[in-house]
Amino acid sequence: MTGPRYTQLAAALPSTVPFVGPETQERARGRTFAARLGANESVFGPSPRAIVAMEKAARDVWMYGDPENHDLREALAEHHGVPSENVVVGEGIDGLLGYLVRLLAAPGDPVVTSDGAYPTFNFHVAGYGGRLHKVPYAGDHEDPEALAAKAADTGAKLIYLANPDNPMGSWHDSDSVQRMIDAVPEGALLALDEAYLELAPDGTAPVIDPDDRRVIRLRTFSKGYGMAGARVGYAIAHRDLVAAFDKVRNHFGMCRTSQAGALAALGDQAYLAVVQETVAGARDELSRIARLNGLVPLPSATNFVTMDCGADGAFARKVLSELVSRDVFVRMPFIAPHDRCIRVSAGRPQDLAHFASALPEALAAARA
């Protein structure tokens, strides 16, 4: 037997993965990390009310989750002041981006993103055979004008923009993003990834217009709400686009515990406010540690601080490797010139203390 016959597309796909998980590294090292600051998870955890809701839902897990995600969608609709017909819930932004790319990008269809932006988006575009066009960042910011121009040039069906940005932590204000929405060429859709929005200053997100066919807003419970392992993302878009997700999504794909947890987390905005304060404090402390060691912390509207190590990618990779060998899990941007930096997530005092103690040693070792 020769075995199954893959599609031409599947056969041609590389076997790369977007990210290596920290557990994989721990298994390879034979040692767990002392500080887990590499995946922009929220070590402060979800709201205690979300934990209680998930504990309670654990007993109900014999039931499939509601395939309509009704209660969560209604709550999100109320929270954002939009009709629930404009809200789709899915398996994290990753899952929703996969469905979105599938809906729009047939093999060869042009898609635009920034060179060095979120690799999981690129993974999906490659996976469906879309043709990815990349524009450079403008310094440490994604470049809305360049994205819009490239989309017009290529006839792109889909444009990706993260605001705030990962991996650089930079952001545009709401007026700039609104200008980007207004610049979306006819027949294109802007996928506006606002995963980190809850950690950004007021005035970062333009007002959501649920009737605007040019943009889909992607949000998540993975970052500010501290529920990365529950896989709950959502998107707000024109109701026709939201309805189109029903054609392809895994209708019974949401975990019942996650639905319950997200609903409770959304209802505890007071806890989110505490996390926002705490993350702001951690960013300040990370910036202080960076400066103390001669690194330049970049301004951040996220739950991480990207630190310029002051040399090239090879040097930053050495610093990262030395941090990892000192049990601090961090990551770094993939491409130049951003790979002059390392990226460190907000942590508790004990996490930051680990980092503070490991960083000077790591820098010294990298320079040696």
Query: Using an 8 Å Cβ cutoff, are 295 and 309 in contact?
Result: yes
Residues 334-353 contacting a copy of itself, CB under 8 A: none
Q: In angstroms, rounded to a whole number, what is the distance separating the alpha carbons of residues 166 and 304?
A: 9
Site string for a copy of itself, 256-295 (x = CB under 8 A): xxx--x----------------------------------
Residues 143-182 contacting a copy of itself, CB under 8 A: 157-158
Q: Which residues of 5-41 are buried (b: 16+ CB within 10 A; e: fewer)?
A: eeeeeeeeeeeeeeeeebeeeeeeeeeebbbbbbbbb
Q: In Å, how far are 8, 62, 110, 128, 225 from 106, measured between CA atoms?
A: 13, 37, 9, 6, 34
Which CB, 116 or 226, lies closer to a copy of itself?
226
Which of 29, 60, 201, 367 forms a contact with a copy of itself (CB under 8 A)?
A: 60
Which CB, 231 or 326, lies closer to a copy of itself?
231
State yes or no: residue 186 binds a copy of itself (CB under 8 A): yes
Which CB, 232 or 309, lies closer to a copy of itself?
232
Which CB, 105 or 298, lies closer to a copy of itself?
105
DSSP per residue over 46-76, as a string? Answer: S-HHHHHHHHHHHTTTTSPPPTT-HHHHHHH
DSSP per residue over 319-365, as a string? Answer: HHHHHHHTTEE-B--SSTTGGGEEEEE---HHHHHHHHHHHHHHHHH
Q: In Å, how far are 151, 302, 313, 344, 354 from 359, measured between CA atoms?
A: 41, 21, 17, 11, 8
Whether the bond into 119 is cis, omega within 30 of 0: no
Chain center to CA of 307: 18
Residues 23-42 contacting a copy of itself, CB under 8 A: 23-24, 27, 36, 39, 41-42
Which of 34, 45, 115, 276 forms a contact with a copy of itself (CB under 8 A)?
A: 45
Q: Which stretch binds a copy of itself (CB under 8 A): 2-10, 141-149, 167-175, 192-200?
A: 2-10
The Cβ-side half-sphere exposure at 217, using a 13 Å CA radius, reads 27
Beta carbon of residue 308, minimum distance to a copy of itself (angstroms, whole number)? 26
State yes or no: residue 92 binds a copy of itself (CB under 8 A): yes
Which CB, 102 or 317, lies closer to a copy of itself?
102
Beta carbon of residue 60, minimum distance to a copy of itself (angstroms, whole number)? 7
Beta strands in the chain (DSSP E): 35-36, 87-90, 110-114, 131-135, 158-162, 189-193, 215-220, 233-236, 296-297, 304-308, 328-329, 341-345
Name the DSSP letter for residue 117.
S
Which CB, 88 or 298, lies closer to a copy of itself?
88
Beta carbon of residue 233, minimum distance to a copy of itself (angstroms, whole number)? 11
Beta carbon of residue 367, minimum distance to a copy of itself (angstroms, whole number)? 32
Residues 208-237 contacting a copy of itself, CB under 8 A: 212-214, 222, 226-231
Pull the structure tokens for residue 288: 């202080």
Which CB, 36 or 338, lies closer to a copy of itself?
36
Site string for a copy of itself, 232-261 (x = CB under 8 A): ------x-xx-xx-xxx-xxxxxxxxx--x
Which CB, 186 or 202, lies closer to a copy of itself?
186
Query: Using an 8 Å Cβ cutoff, are 366 and 333 in contact?
Result: no
Which CB, 250 or 350, lies closer to a copy of itself?
250
State yes or no: residue 138 binds a copy of itself (CB under 8 A): no
Beta carbon of residue 361, minimum distance to a copy of itself (angstroms, whole number)? 26
